[in-house]
Each structure stands twice: as C-alpha cells, then as structure tokens.
Amino acid sequence: MSVKRLEQLAQAEKTAFVFPGQGSQKVGMLAEIAEQFSEVRDTFNEASEAVGFDLWQIAQTGEGLNQTENTQPVLLTASIALWRVWLSLGGVAPKFLAGHSLGEYSALVAGEAMSLGDAVKLVHLRGKLMQNAVPQGVGAMAAILGLADEDVVALCQKVSESATGSVEAANYNTKGQVVIAGTAELVNAVMAEAKEQGKKAIALPVSVPSHCSLMKPAAEKFAQALEQTAIELPCIPVIQNVNAKAAANVEELRQSLTEQLYRSVQWTKTIAHLQEHGVTYIAECGPGTVLSNMAKRLPNIEKTFALDTQSRMEDALNTILVAEGKIA
C-alpha cells in the first residue's frame, strides 16, 4: 500500500488499531484466515524473503517460535498480514495506531513509516540483541496484580536497594496490572512481597527481561541499526510506548524506539490518550485477544475487536463502517 492509497481511504474518527507484542504468538496462527485471503501468505512470503528464513513454517509448526529472535518477526508479519486483509476488504484508516512493545513496529509499518522488509530485519536483530544482553536464567519478568502503580514502583525500589541487581516496572498494562522485569532474584523478591500483601504475582514464561535497564547494552547496539534504516513519520499517528504520544520528527521517533528497549511500556497512558482523542472502538490487529480484552473493561470504550479470524474480521469491518458513518 502506498501513502497515497492510505490517504485515499475513508478516515475513521472513533477507531484506533492496536498491535500486540510478544506473548500473543501461538502455533498455527492465522491458518484459518490464510485459507480465505491470499494477502496472508503473500505477506509472509515477502517478510521471509527479507530475513532469509521461512516465517510461515515457524508460525505453523511452532519450531523455534518462542525464541525471541524468531517470535518478533513472525508476530510483526502476522499483524501486517491482517492489516493488509483489512485494507483489501475496504476497511477505514484508523484515527490512531499503537502497538504494545514489539507491536509498535507493526504500527509503524501499517502507518508506512518503514517497509515490512526493513521492519522484520530490525526486529529479528532486536530479538537477538535482547536475548544476548542477559545470560539465560539471570533475568525474569512477572505480573503484579492488585497494587497501584506507585506501590509497585516503591516495592521495586525497596528490593533494589537491599540487594545486587535491579528490578523495575516494565509494562503499565491496565489499572492494577503492572509487569516487572529485572534480575531474577529481585523479581522473585518483589513477587514475595506482593503476595505477603495479599496480592497476586505471576511469573511470566519469558527468557528476556524486557523494558528494564538490563537491556541498555542491547539498546546501544540497536540504535546503530535504527540509524541505518529508512524511516519516515507515519501517515497515521502512532502513539509510542515510552511517552504515550506521537513523535514530532524522525529523530524523536528513532530515539523513542531505542529507549523502548530499556524503558517501561506506558500502555495505560497510551489507551488514555486514545480515549481523550475520541476513540471509542479499538481493533486488535494481530494474533489473539490480549489487548482487546484489556481495553473492553475500560469506560467509554464502546466495543473492541480481534481480527485474527474471518468471522472476527468481518464483524469488525461491518460494525466499524456503520459506527464511522461509512455505510448505513
């Protein structure tokens, strides 16, 4: 899709598209919708050619799917495949785009800030650098449920002051749900403290402690790759993770992508930004329903959609076109 083509699309006033990050992958993703729409396999073929290995085979067999360096390009490609199906069906151009962690790259490709080929190469490298930044077993992540954001931050600071290593808030997902990341021993200590207060703490099955200071070495190397990648400002505003706002220029965009590796994902503020700007419909463009399920519990969100099957795609298409006044 060219910028001109996107500009020709009907523009939504109430709809945002959000793109999921790591953790939404599943074996066999998009198999059903690929049977109905050639855009899915075409997109996977294009991305596979760029990175030099078969992303569709990984997605369907699961072999190597949970290795970060594979997970990231597969998920990005799946999201863009669904985005292209949406456009082929005559879907509106959303008012905003946003992506959770890795999903920010999907949003930028959808907004034509970078090509799919460049993006899959970037996130493949991103996954490798993240994996190599911290030895296996040294880092960890966990979800803390039921505590206010500031209480989670205070717990992390308390634990970090009394031991070697670090633990930080990594993802502010929704009210009462914060993911922490850092040195495994300290992550476990925060979990124990939260449980002592009667709250829930769930260890996440990840091999990389994302969005914390342990990722700074990876960010330094990744910044070099970003500088060598052709990037433009997106033609649909992309709300970025680190500051919950759209970049004013390309340098700011690159800087935010670099910082995203070691700073927390401000997803709660991102969704608040969308709501403050009139968004009442949110479509999750990627495998699964993680982001749409989080958003459906929020006030003033009329409906959320997942797009990863034909029936879900058609439901979203019809409902949003009516809501946006594009069809009666």
Q: Cα–Cα distance between 20 and 288 in angstroms, integer?
A: 8
Strands (DSSP E) contained in the chain are 15-19, 96-99, 139-145, 167-174, 177-183, 200-203, 238-239, 281-284, 303-306
CB-based contacts of 226, cutoff 8 Å, min separation 6: 122, 254, 257, 258
Structure confidence by residue, pLDDT tens digits, 77-121: 999 999 999 999 999 999 999 999 999 999 999 999 999 999 999
pLDDT at 160 over 70: yes
Q: What is the pLDDT of residue 151?
A: 97
> Is residue 234 within 8 Å of residue 112, measured between CB atoms?
yes
State how far the Cα of 241 lies from the Cα of 269, in Å rounded to an integer: 9
* CA end-to-end distance (rounded Å), the chain: 27
Per-chain mean pLDDT for the chain: 94
Residue 56 to residues 33, 81, 115, 178, 287, Cα–Cα distance (Å): 13, 11, 19, 32, 14
Residue 54: its pLDDT value, please? 98
246-257 per-position pLDDT tens digit: 999 999 999 999
What tens digit of pLDDT does each residue of 195-204 get?
999 999 999 9
Q: What is the mean pLDDT of residues 126-139?
A: 93
Query: Given pLDDT bands bounded at 50, 70 and 90, which one contains residue 2?
Result: very low
Q: What is the pLDDT of residues 36-75, one digit of tens each?
A: 999 999 999 999 999 999 999 999 999 999 888 999 999 9
Of 101, 160, 264, 292, which one is the catalytic site residue? 101
pLDDT at 8 over 70: no
pLDDT for 4 equals: 40
Please compute the mean of the pLDDT values over residues 259-288 and round it to a whole number: 96
Going along the chain from its start, the domains and CATH numbers come out as: 3-133+214-323 (3.40.366.10), 139-206 (3.30.70.250)
Q: Is 162 a catalytic residue?
A: no
Question: What is the structure's pLDDT at 219?
Answer: 97
Which of these is catalytic: 100, 124, 211, 273? 211
Active-site residue flag, 211:
yes
pLDDT for position 110? 98
- What is the pLDDT, as a whole number, of residue 7? 63
Q: pLDDT category, 285, cuts 50, 70, 90?
A: very high
Residue 328: predicted pLDDT: 54
Q: Where are the beta strands (DSSP E) in 226-314?
A: 238-239, 281-284, 303-306
More confident residue, 312 or 5: 312
Q: What is the pLDDT of residue 184?
A: 96
User: Angle formed by the axes of helices 116-133 and 38-51, to 10°?
Assistant: 60
Give 311-319 contacts, CB < 8 A, sequence gap 24+. 313/33, 313/82, 313/85, 313/86, 313/89, 314/89, 316/86, 316/91, 316/283, 317/86, 317/89, 317/90, 317/91, 319/281
